[in-house]
Chain A
Amino acid sequence: MTRYVLRRLAESLPLLLAVSVLVFALLQASPGSPLAQLERDPTITQADIERLMEERGYNDPWFVQYGRWLGGALKGDFGASLQTGRPATTEVLTRVPNTLVLVGVAFIVTLLIAIPVGVLSAVRQYSAFDHIVTTLTFMGQSVPIFWLGLLLIMVFYLGLSNPFTGGPLFPAGGMYTLGREDVLSNRIWHLVLPVIMLTSTWVAWYTRFLRASMLDVLGLDYVRTARAKGAAERIVIFRHALRNASMPLITLIGLDLPMLFSGALFTETIFSWPGMGRLFYQSALRRDYTVLMVIIMLTSALIVIANLLADVAYAAVDPRITYD
């Protein structure tokens, strides 16, 4: 297993290198420049812009710029953000913990809800419970997430008040109240609405997915055999059926894991959460190529790792799978 993991990691290096070349070339080819905003300032002369282009090396061909970038990257220097002047890695790393907290909590809550509900909904197919779940998940998938976030603010921030303090029931955004950064309850209080916004669609998606794969499995011979043997229903469902139905779920989680780092743009925007989704969006708008490269390379690396984790998890769940 260890050898397998090491081999997979080694194999991923050329892949990441290829990704970096491709992305770098694409970014350079896209219209607009990090200096575009200067053109609209009447106090900036064309000569200034020319000088800055030269100073920053934007006039070099893209492969020369790529060579410079790669040379730095191999030494761990991913360059300074073109907008803020701080190291691009610093820009990204200050956002990662914020995103991990928000998306991680939402992800865990999603799984805690979606797995039992999905299983139960499949086991009791066509029951009243199943109908309600199907309807709710359908709604959850259809509701525009942006609208849902605004609705949450309307109701829980503008509409309802805390009966004890008179303040809003939940805050409209941010990660904490200034001065109470270290108070856990304050942090949780700020997490509630954005987590609801994120989980509402994820739960819907995961529940439907799990329900479908459970239904596939429940009709199969080995489940009937297990029942015929007289195994308790609980064992039939959890040991025999869910274990097999969870294979596609692991794939799905594996695909979604990089999202833990890449963030959730809409939720972060509505709830003023300083996370990776917003950083990515802002950097793209401002043509901050160095920061974009760090984010894209980080996400690519995470996709590789998440896929590897999913493959390892298969082996743990399904004894038939071995990698040696």
Chain B
Amino acid sequence: MFTLVAIAFGLLSLGFAQSSGGTANVLLPEDLPTLNPYLSTALITTQVSPAIIEPLLTVNPAGDYVPVMAARVPTPENGDVSPDGLRVRWTLAPNLKWSDGQPVTADDVVFTYEAATQGANSVRGGLFTKVASVTAVDDATVDVAYKEFDSSYLDLFQYGILPRHATGDPADMSNWAFNRAPIGTGPFVLTDWRAGDRIIMDRNENYREAGRPYLDRLVFMVVPSEETRVAMMVRGDAQRMLWPGANQRDALQASDNVNYVLVPSIYILRMFLNLGERGNPVIGQAPHPILGDLRVRQALAYGIDYDAIIDGLAEGRVKRATSPFELGWYACDIDGYTFDPTKAAALLDQAGWVMGNDGVRVAKGAKYAPDGTRLSLDILGYTDFRLLEQTELVIADMYSDLGVELNVRNVEQSVLFGGWSDGAVRKTGDFDILIYDTGAGINPQAHVFELLDSSRIPTEENGGAGGNYSRWSNSQVDAWLDEAGSSPSLSVRKADYCNIAEAINEDLPQIYLYQFADGSALSVHLKGVEPNTWAGISWDVANWYLE
């Protein structure tokens, strides 16, 4: 009899391997301004809100779009995207209910569009700039018509769907009670929000997946001191910590209670080489006396010991990057440059840069620089980012062996990233090399267009708009960017991006260094968690369970 019970129990536990119940505490560094993601761009809001307010689609850790409230991902192949890409049909998953028991209808999607575009204080109107109309075809189907093709059409409802019946007039959005007491379709419902202290959520009994979420309760605790957050993780009083800093990694890893997981970050550190004459922001006028010569740029790329930086300096917390396309569906496999000081020296010799008396090369028959010009370059980054500063110094050291003088000149972030009217040198081109980290999301189009298209070189005429700081002008790349931006086919776009990656590698407007990783601190007892580069921590909260 006992054996039978044991077997039955064993079978049962196979079927329901995840244990149900319990409370998970998640530590946040600060309180949310609002739970309505259409009112604030605060990252902290979009980390928490998907536990309640769900999007139509999300992106899984592998970088694939997966349905959440939608029945399927609209694609040209399944007919949901018209061949010209100007009409996208969304179908809602069947039997969706709001947490108050009301059915979710296509009208709620229409309402979300109204709120985002007409809502007072809406910060998400920009997502819908290419949208002509959003109409409900029937209770479960929504058609979005576009004025022009938008390659980010899948991201349109990434911040969630709002219930018409539980919100209010869009014109009054900033005053909705909903903002602090949202109704959603997510696995949890808000129970209590104590300002500056805790956000308490309990399981949504109307959640579409039976048996989920596994947790009874999810508590977001506001703990402003990072040291205190680490102490709570180590002591086992909290199950997850948002954004543990790299400096806390050792303390967290040393604890038996904590798993420290690294996931790739979208941020990539790169050097922008100024191809144009310094401080002369006119497209294609005069080349940079030193960096205008491809052989010099190649020498600079061969002159960096990437492994020494990645393994030695960053202790493996970062990974080699060779192009802006490192992640997800658009990742391209580019070999990139490896450390080869002999080749680098040979290239500099060929380019007409001979070793001077003081160990710095000088021009003697160089392509653009008058004879006697010293091979001396300024590198400009931002302050208060230790790894970036260390990287600059190490590169300067490697370059000095080559006879290249690299002067590190860092400024405050707000100065470096200033606008044209502030006279920020990034915009006006008054630099030799820029170094900073930036990255694209799951849809890289807007990011790489800004970065690489020749129309995006900041000049007086365009008021300094655009982010093509290398002032790289390559008509082939412009064509690939246009095609990638107007094609609904991911495979076509990926081919374009990889062509661009090759072109960058050949022409070297930028030298790619490494890609960062985001840390995630989890209790060893919290299971079912998949840290995700593309979505906030709450994207898979229905699957979390305690062991």
| Shortest distance from the beta carbon of B530 to any chain A beta carbon, whole Å | 24
- Asked if B124 is an interface residue, CB under 8 A from chain A, the answer is yes
Docked complex Cα distance between A114 and B122 (Å): 54
Contact A85 B200 (CB under 8 A): no
**What are 6 A-B residue pairs whose CB atoms fall within 8 Å in the complex?**
A55-B120, A84-B179, A95-B196, A174-B221, A272-B223, A272-B224
Contact of B125 among A37, A48, A172, A178 (CB under 8 A): A48
A86 / chain B contacts, CB cutoff of 8 Å: 180
Please state if A282 and B30 are interface contacts (CB–CB under 8 Å): yes
Instruction: Evaluate contact between A270 and B228: CB separation under 8 angstroms.
Output: yes
For the complex of A and B, the 8 pairs showing the least CB-CB separation, nearest first, are A274-B196, A45-B126, A83-B33, A274-B197, A41-B41, A85-B174, A272-B223, A269-B224
Does A173 reach chain B (CB closer than 8 Å)?
Answer: yes
A12 vs chain B, min Cβ distance (A): 30
B179 touches A172 (CB 8 A): no
Residue of B120, B126, B196, B231 touching A44 (CB-CB under 8 A): B126
Q: Which residues of A (152-194) have their CB < 8 Å from a CB of B? A: 153-154, 157-158, 168, 171-175, 178
For residue A98, give the distance in angstroms from its CB to the closest CB of chain B.
8
Closest to B127 in A: A43
For A94, the closest partner residue in chain B by CB is: B195
CB-CB under 8 A from B196, the residues of chain A are: 94-95, 274-275, 278-279
Which residues of B are found within 8 Å of A51, using beta-carbon distances?
125
A173 to B228, CA, bound (A): 8
CA distance A274 to B193 in the complex (A): 12
User: Counting CB contacts under 8 A, is A80 at the interface?
Assistant: yes
For window 98-156 of chain B, which residues contact chain A by CB distance below 8 Å?
A: 120-121, 123-127, 129
A235 within 8 A of B: no
Cβ–Cβ contact A157 & B125, under 8 A: no
List, in ascending order, chain A residues with CB within 8 A of B224's CB: 268-269, 272, 278
Is A153 in contact with B231, judged by CB distance below 8 angstroms?
Answer: yes
Residue A219 CB within 8 A of the other chain:
no
Indicate whether B500 reaches chain A with its CB closer than 8 angstroms: no
Contacting residue for A272 out of B125, B222, B446, CB 8 A: B222
Using known A-B contacts A43-B127, A84-B34, determine if residue A172 contacts B221 with beta carbons closer than 8 Å. no
List residues 180-226 of chain B with CB under 8 A from any CB of chain A.
180, 194-198, 200, 219, 221-225
Which A residues lie within 8 Å of B446 (CB)? 42
Is A321 interfacial (CB-CB < 8 Å)?
no
Q: When chains A and B are docked, how far (Å) is the Cα of A80 from the Cα of B224? A: 24
A43 to B224 CA separation, bound complex (whole angstroms): 28
In the bound complex, CA of A94 to CA of B193 (Å): 12
Residue A231, interface by CB 8 Å: no
- In A44-71, the 8 Å CB interface with B consists of 44-45, 47-48, 51-52, 55-56
Shortest distance from the beta carbon of B155 to any chain A beta carbon, whole Å: 8
Question: A270 to chain B: which residues have CB within 8 Å?
Answer: 225, 227-228
Distance (whole angstroms) from the CB of B515 to the closest CB of chain A: 18
Contacts of A150 in B (CB 8 A): 227
**Which of the 9-residue segments B11-19, B60-68, B232-240 touches chain A?**
B232-240
Contacts of A45 in B (CB 8 A): 125-126, 129
Q: Are A272 and B174 in contact (CB under 8 A)?
A: no
Q: For residue B227, which residues in chain A have a CB less than 8 angstroms away from its CB? A: 150, 153, 270
Q: List 8 extra interface pairs beyond A43-B124, A83-B40, A172-B235, CB under 8 A.
A: A42-B447, A44-B41, A45-B129, A84-B180, A85-B174, A153-B231, A270-B228, A274-B194
User: What count of chain A residues pass the 8 Å CB interface test?
Assistant: 44
| A83, A86, A153, A173 pick with most chain B CB within 10 angstroms | A173
Minimum CB distance partner of A86 in chain B: B180
The A-B contact count (CB < 8 A) is 107
A positions within 8 Å CB-CB of B: 37-38, 41-45, 47-48, 51-52, 55-56, 80, 83-86, 91, 94-95, 150, 153-154, 157-158, 168, 171-175, 178, 268-272, 274-275, 278-279, 282, 286
B121 in complex: contacting residue of A56, A91, A173, CB < 8 Å: A56
Cα–Cα distance between A52 and B231 once the two chains are bound (Å): 41
Report the separation of the CA atoms of residues A37 and B175 in the bound assembly, to the nearest whole angstrom: 21
User: Could you say which residues of chain B place their CB within 8 Å of the CB of A175?
Assistant: 197
Query: From residue B28, how far is it (CB to closest CB) to chain A in Å?
Result: 10
Which of A83, A84, A282, A286: most chain B Cβ within 10 A? A84
Q: Which residues does chain A contribute within 8 Å of B198, judged by CB atoms?
A: 174, 178
Specify the chain B residue showing the minimal Cβ separation from A179: B23
Chain B, residue nearest A279 (CB): B196
- Shortest C-beta distance, B376 to chain A (Å), equals 33
Q: How far is the CB of A198 from chain B (nearest CB, A)?
A: 15
Q: A84 to B447: give the CA distance in the assembly, Å.
A: 30
Verify if B39 is at the interface (C-beta below 8 Å from A). Answer: yes
The answer to whether B121 and A153 touch across the interface, beta carbons within 8 angstroms, is no
CA distance A100 to B471 in the complex (A): 58
Nearest CB in chain B: distance from A206 CB, A: 26
Contact at A52–B123, with CB atoms within 8 Å? Answer: yes
> Contacts A83-B40, A158-B235: A272 and B34 contacting too (C-beta < 8 A)?
no
Docked pose: A42 CA to B197 CA in angstroms: 30
Find chain A residues with CB under 8 A from B228 CB: 153, 172-173, 270-272
CB distance from A133 to the nearest CB of B (A): 31
Q: Is the CB of B221 within 8 A of A272?
A: yes
- Interface pair B195/A95, CB less than 8 Å apart: yes
The residue on B at minimum CB distance from A41 is B41
Report A-chain residues with C-beta under 8 Å of the C-beta of B125: 45, 48, 51
Most A-side CB within 10 Å, residue of B174, B179, B196: B196
